[in-house]
Each structure stands twice: as C-alpha cells, then as structure tokens.
Amino acid sequence: MKQWMFKLTGFLCSLWSLAFGLILVHSRYWRLWEFDDKYVQLVYIGLWEAYYHQELNISSSVVSIPVHIPVNSSWTISPEFWYARYLILLSILIKPVILVCSLVAIRIGTIKPEVRDIQIVCYKGYALVLVLSGLCTVLSVTWNHVVDIYGETTLDFPPAFPVRKEALIKKHHTHVFPIGIMATILSLVAVVMVLIEIRSLKLQRKIKAWNSSKEVD
C-alpha cells in the first residue's frame, strides 16, 4: 500500500507540474509594465503575445479597446526573454516522456513484478527527465524575473507600438515566478518519490537474489 502511495504521489506531482507549465506557456503575465501615457497605461507581455487596452476618443467619449499583438521579430527580444521561451517549451515537450516512463514502470510492476531491472531503468529515465524539466522551468522564470524587476532588460517594443519604453514608470510582480517555482517544487517531489521507489526495487532485487542463493545452497 505504501509503495502505491509513493507511485501515485510521484505521478500526480508530475501531472500538476505539467499543468503549471502549460499555464506558464500561455500566460500573458511574463512582464507587466505600467506607463505614464494618456492612452496606454498597462502592457501585458507574454512569451508570444502582448496585450493592452488602448483608450480612444470616439464621438466625444473615451472607449477602451483591447488590443492583442504578436511578440515577433519586429520586437527587440532580450536574451533572457528568448531563452525563457525555449526553456519553458523544452520543459513542456519532455513532460510526455516522464509520463510514459512512469506508466510503463507501473504497468511492468503490475504485470511482471519480478522484472525489476526494467522498472529501475524506466524510473531512472523518469527521474532524469523530471530534473531536466525542473531546471528548465526554474531557470526560465528566475532569469526573467530577476532581469525584469531588478535589472535592465533590452526587451523593447516595435516602432509602431502606441507607447514608448521611455514612458515606463513601474514594473509589476506577476504570478509567473511563483507558478514556475511551484512547478519546479512539484517536479522535485516527484523525483524524491521515484528515488524511493528505485531504492525499494533494488532492495527487493537483493532479497530475491539472497533467497535464490539460499535455495541453491
């Protein structure tokens, strides 16, 4: 029963980590900048899309219009933003490998519990990819957060953007950094569960070998 608890906990932590990773990929809160501008006060910058409300005078009344624009080659993309894109993508793309390794190991344990070597190999691959995924996630969100809030980023708008970066007055904290840290913690918890399972399998293998040697004697 305890073994299944470790397996289930590791698997669920992996799933939650994947869910948080997907939230990060689609989030438009990687940067939230406030401007001293009459028409555009806040700009939400995601990895691939920016969003803002532009206030326009239409028929003597002020109308707020939501605008979405792609973050593409017309922007000046800073190094930390460029790496954040591809590190977070990598962490998402390798997550299916984690789930496959986990399911294969659990399936083997259910059908052929005596085949422990294959289970151990699957769990080792599972743990390795989890560590890599966690590193990609924490590096992307931490680098982005530190440079944005505490440093000087070279990320800049395209020439036709309705507000200039010079009008920037405040950079806001967003949920991206804490979600990234939570995703990494969940990955690490899953790794611990996997290592416990590997240790248990190795112990079972030693006991089986010892029992076999006693029978031979």
Q: How far apart are CA 11 and CA 32, in angstroms?
A: 34
CA 11 to chain centre: 16
Q: What is the pTM of this model?
A: 0.86
Cα distances (Å, whole numbers) of residue 204 to 38, 40, 194, 207, 209: 70, 64, 15, 5, 9
The pLDDT value given to residue 112:
62
pLDDT for the residue numbered 68: 93
Instruction: Kindly provide the b/e burial profile for residues 183-214, where b requires at least 16 CB atoms within 10 angstroms of the residue's own CB.
Output: bbbbbbbbbebbebbbeebeeeeeeeeeeeee
Q: State both tokens at 181.
A: 């840290």
89-146 pLDDT, tens digit each? 999 998 888 778 777 777 776 666 566 777 888 888 888 989 999 999 999 999 999 9
Q: For 10-50, how does the pLDDT look when each residue is reduced to its tens digit (9 = 90+)?
A: 888 988 999 999 999 999 999 999 999 888 899 999 999 99
> Would you identify the CATH topology of the domain 2-26+72-206?
Butyryl-CoA Dehydrogenase, subunit A; domain 3 (1.20.140)
Query: Cβ(47)–Cβ(30) under 8 Å?
Result: yes
In the chain, what are the domain boundaries? 2-26+72-206
